[in-house]
Amino acid sequence: MSDFVDRVTVHVKGGDGGNGAASIRREKYKPLAGPDGGDGGDGGSVIFVADPNATSLMDFRFLPHRAAPSGTQGLGGDKDGSKGADLILPVPLGTVVFTAKGGPGEQKRPGKPLADLRRKGDRFVAAEGGNGGLGNRSLANRARRAPGFALLGEPGEERDLVLELKSIADVALVGFPSAGKSSLIAAMSAAKPKIADYPFTTLVPNLGVVLAGEKRFTMADVPGLIPGASQGKGLGLEFLRHIERTEVIAHVVDCATLEPNRDPIADYEALEKELAIYADELKLPLGAIPIAERPRIIVLNKVDVPEAKELAEFVRPEFEKMGLKTFIVSTASHEGLKELSFALMGIVDEMREKVRAQEEAEDEARVVIRPLEDAGRPRRRGGRSGLGIDFEIEREQDRDGNFWYVVTGSKPERWVVQTNFDNEEAVGYLADRLARLGVEDALRKLGAHPGDEVHIGRGDRAVAFDWDPTVAAGAEMLDGTPQAVRGQDLRLQDDGYARRRTNTERRREYHEWMDAKSAVRAAMQAEREAGHWSDPTVLDDPNDETSLIDRLGEDRGDPGKDGKGTAAKRQ
């Protein structure tokens, strides 16, 4: 089994954010000292980093599912949760990240390109971690002094991606199958590719480092190409992409082939035609040199065979007339390999300087557009069609005539995920936020009526409810009393326990309490001496309709009663 993998599908998931905590601080002489619930920690992110030490995507084939750690939950005592660590995944230089196309159970195909990790240290955040939920300490303000709820952490981003490796080498060896490309890279470097006497022996690109004096360059052995490769014939487009990042293209021509209708000039023209077709459909990154403008050289191989050497000497002037540098070599006897290595090194040096200058020019000419930092810019609400900066509203209908409204947008969908629907105060807080955002106004403009079904978000995380705009979102009461509005606690008001009492106030309150206690004891003693507690026929409070004396008289059926109780008898 080959240890080189150049395309894999990976499933990445960012860590979930930790939930916020709802807690009240308690101190001596101050049992309700305000909210102290900490925030939840953010989840870690999955990040791809271009690493020159990584040579293949093999690790992702055996471990395609990668998830970053989640953040921890906040705690009381102003303790915030810890953040999940980012998951750093090294990938080879030249890795391109695509979205994955294909339904469930189908093989994933590359979709929209997301990142091109060409240089050492290039980073791409594949899946962002979720934000941690706010604790009630962070939710408290002057109007909401005692929040009885906290926000939930957001789930991390989760998606499928396709990683595709496009080999980065200085020189690419292209040619027909069995032209001797693997033998050439094995003779010029320390690479050990598979070599056999049948076509398409090379199934994966082989990379080798070639020394030319004190300098070095990399060489890629691209699998054999045939006419029609740009349309997928043979190994087709699977390996044509490996020449996208090379700076020099070396045509390896088999001068000893016995196949009919084959000659060096025809082989070169056939492969150049396939490269031209492939280059027309290729989208190169900024600073890259088009394939048609990259230098070519001709390597006439297998001249250790007498007939092949004669053919090479015969066609060499024809290639030179085309302006192509031509070298006659033999991988068996190593003839001409030293001259070839130094010639390639000189071309590579020139191309490196040209590429570096072109990339710098592209970077300088690149226009960076940043949004205006204007905090006072008015925010457009809903609008005539329900479209706004922060949300969109669409009216959907099925075949049976049932309709509903769908609210989408980063803010409403994020707020729904953060809400704990088991807490009435948290649900009311969500209603407040949606009303301030303008969702209710936009629904009303679109013709929504009380009782219509409204969905916030789409998919598994969507929340459906019946719209009821008649109830003001900020007027729900927690216990039915007008003094207890959401997020307030009477015990935390300015005249309650929100302020620590001074010693003088404590002393005064203590004496007032002792005086009241003495007055109650004196009143109780006076009643005891008057016999009120020993004579059950005496009613201390004549206006007490729940007196036990009246009920006892009615139960006995006393004929002296006129049905008006003891009070009528005393009159």
User: What are the strands, taking DSSP E only, across 189-240?
Assistant: 206-212, 215-221
Residue 202 assigned to a binding site: yes
SS (H, E, C) 111-122: EEEEEEECCCCC
Residue 304 assigned to a binding site: yes
Residue 2 assigned to a binding site: no
Residue 261 assigned to a binding site: no
Residue 567's contacts (CB-CB under 8 Å, 6 or more residues apart) are: 539, 542, 550
314's tokens:
């015969």
Element (H, E) at 309: helix 306-321
pTM exceeds 0.85 for this model: no
Residue 263 assigned to a binding site: no
Q: In the β-sheet with 453-456, what is the strand arrangement from edge to edge? A: 392-397, 403-408, 453-456, 463-466
Distance CA(469)–CA(457), nearest Å, equals 19
Residue type, 78: D
Using a pLDDT cut of 90, give the percent of the chain over it. 17
Which domains are delineated in the chain?
Answer: 7-165 (2.70.210.12), 169-365 (3.40.50.300), 392-467 (3.30.300.350)
Residue 177 assigned to a binding site: yes
Residue 131's contacts (CB-CB under 8 Å, 6 or more residues apart) are: 17, 42, 43, 153, 154
If one compares 543 and 95, the residue with the highest pLDDT of the two is: 95
* Helix, strand, coil share of the chain (percent; to 5): 30, 20, 50
Residue 178 is predicted with a pLDDT of 76
Q: Which residue has 């003891």 as its token pair? A: 566
Residue 479 assigned to a binding site: no
In which band, very low, low, confident or very high, does the pLDDT at 544 lie, cut at 50, 70 and 90? low
496 CB neighbour count, 10 Å cutoff: 11
Residue 447 assigned to a binding site: no
Residue 181 assigned to a binding site: yes
In which band, very low, low, confident or very high, does the pLDDT at 545 lie, cut at 50, 70 and 90? low
Residue 331 assigned to a binding site: yes
In which band, very low, low, confident or very high, does the pLDDT at 376 lie, cut at 50, 70 and 90? very low
Residue 327 assigned to a binding site: no
Residue 213 assigned to a binding site: no
> What confidence tens digit (pLDDT) does each residue in 5-47 have?
778 999 999 999 999 999 988 887 776 778 899 999 999 999 9
> What confidence tens digit (pLDDT) does each residue in 496-518 have?
444 567 888 889 998 998 999 89
